[in-house]
């Protein structure tokens, strides 16, 4: 049995809510990527997310909430930086890691923290409001695969998801920025849609983590395993794609200013590039190429999130 793509009208939302209340899962659009949602308090439902994604149990889930009040209820403390950042950027592509309220279990992993965000997408917000549930939701793809930016991507990666609410293509197209507020200086756990510069304007200095993590070992951001966001094809990052020779069918991904005949050409603007990146990788994968050769983007901070994803997609 495969899942259905459903319009997010009142009937579609009602059907999604019924599934969530019954302890099942529903995929829904957010402004970053599509999420695979479940009642964050239901062990059964959260277990279904891990099973469908084949996600390792040590990797905890982001909990999506409708309001700052709900977020505060799920936290054991609400630091001043959480207040300021939520006021500035929620709803939006920023995930905050804070101490977890002791009554909450079920979002996977035995840690004493919780990752929270309010998504900036009308369908996600209507689903949160109608279900009256905090929704645990990782990206709606098999573990380590490319995150989905359309409803069709979800079912290609996870055909057994019963229902996908269709909200069109995700506007950011890259995951939220994850910031740890349990450290003295806020620590960037995952670069993402929201730029570091915007965060610094609110919090001051932000610590960056070391890039390397070891799979399965204790880690501050469990999800940042080395290989992630990977297409089926082998992804090769090149300083100059024109210098690289590869055997077999190859797809080339580059950007304006480094354009090349026959290549997929994305924008030279990092935000627009990010918005199209996963869809381009999905397309090249579907075309059946054995290798995706990617022109390395510039080494500036604006490209941090894109370079992070490309580096992980290329990791062995
Ligand atoms: O944009 C997004 O964040 C999307 C949409 C659906 O909201 N979600 C998403 O979820 O990307 P996921 O599960 O693919 O990535 C969540 C990241 C992982 O790196 C995970 O390890 C980290 O957040 N995370 C979750 N809970 C955490 C916690 N308590 N402490 C530290 N890191 C946490
Ligand atoms: Mg993911």
Residue to mutate (ligand 1; options 222, 274, 277, 313; most atoms within 8 A of CB): 222
CA 59 to ligand 1: nearest atom: 21
Q: If you measure from the C-alpha of residue 243 to the centroid of ligand 2, how many angstroms do you get, rounded to a whole number?
A: 32
Residues (pLDDT < 70) of the chain are 1, 105-110, 210-225
The helix/strand/coil state of 228 is: coil
Ligand 1 centroid to residue 214 C-alpha, Å? 17
**Distance between CA atoms of 87 and 161, rounded to whole angstroms?**
34
Nearest C-alpha neighbor of 297 from the set 228, 239, 230, 212: 239
Domain ranges of the chain: 4-208, 234-314
Report pLDDT for 215. 40
> Ligand 1 in contact with 95 (CB < 6 A)?
yes
pLDDT (0 to 100) of residue 223: 57
Taking the centre of ligand 1 as the mean of its atom positions, its distance from the CA of residue 175, in whole angstroms, is 8
Total-model pTM: 0.94
Half-sphere exposure of 35 (CA within 13 A, CB side): 30
User: Domain 4-208 maps to which CATH number in 2.60.40.4070, 3.10.50.40, 3.55.30.10, 3.90.870.10?
Assistant: 3.90.870.10
According to DSSP, the β-strands at 177-180 and 187-190 are antiparallel
Q: What is the pLDDT of residue 234?
A: 95
- Asked if residue 190 belongs to a known ligand binding site, the reply is yes
160's CB contacts (< 8 A; 6+ apart) are 1, 2, 3, 52
Q: What is the pLDDT of residue 105?
A: 65
How far apart CA 258 and CA 265 sit, in angstroms, is 8
Residue from 60, 143, 165 to probe ligand 1 pocket by mutation (most atoms less than 8 Å from CB) = 60
The values of phi and psi at residue 254, to 5°, are -140, -170
């Amino acid at each position: 049995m495969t899942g259905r793509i459903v319009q997010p009208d009142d009937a579609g939302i009602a059907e999604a809510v019924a599934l969530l209340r019954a302890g099942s899962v529903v995929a829904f659009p957010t402004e970053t990527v599509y999420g695979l949602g479940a009642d964050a308090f239901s062990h059964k439902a959260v277990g279904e997310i891990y099973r469908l994604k084949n996600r390792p149990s040590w990797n905890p889930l982001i909990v999506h909430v409708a309001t700052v009040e709900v977020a505060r209820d799920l936290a054991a403390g609400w630091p001043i930086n959480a207040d300021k950042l939520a006021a500035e950027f929620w709803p939006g592509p920023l995930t905050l890691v804070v101490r977890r309220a002791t009554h909450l279990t079920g979002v996977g992993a035995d840690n004493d923290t919780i990752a929270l965000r309010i998504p900036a997408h009308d369908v996600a917000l209507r689903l949160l409001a109608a279900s009256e549930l905090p929704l645990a939701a990782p990206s709606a793809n098999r573990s380590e695969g490319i995150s989905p930016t359309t409803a069709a991507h979800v079912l290609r990666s996870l055909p057994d998801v019963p229902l996908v609410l269709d909200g069109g293509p995700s506007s950011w197209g890259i995951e939220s920025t994850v910031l740890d507020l349990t450290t003295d200086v806020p620590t960037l756990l995952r670069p993402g849609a929201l730029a570091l510069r915007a965060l610094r304007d609110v919090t001051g200095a932000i610590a960056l983590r070391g890039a390397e993590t070891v799979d399965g070992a204790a880690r501050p951001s469990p999800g940042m395993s080395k290989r992630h966001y990977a297409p089926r094809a082998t992804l090769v990052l090149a300083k100059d794609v024109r210098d690289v020779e590869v055997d077999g069918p190859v797809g080339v991904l580059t950007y304006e200013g480094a354009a090349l005949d026959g290549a997929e050409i994305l924008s030279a603007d990092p935000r627009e590039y990010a918005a199209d990146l996963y869809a381009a990788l999905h397309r090249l994968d579907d075309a059946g190429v054995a290798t995706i050769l990617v022109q390395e983007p510039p080494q500036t901070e604006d490209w941090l999130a894109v370079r992070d994803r490309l580096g992980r997609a290329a990791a062995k």
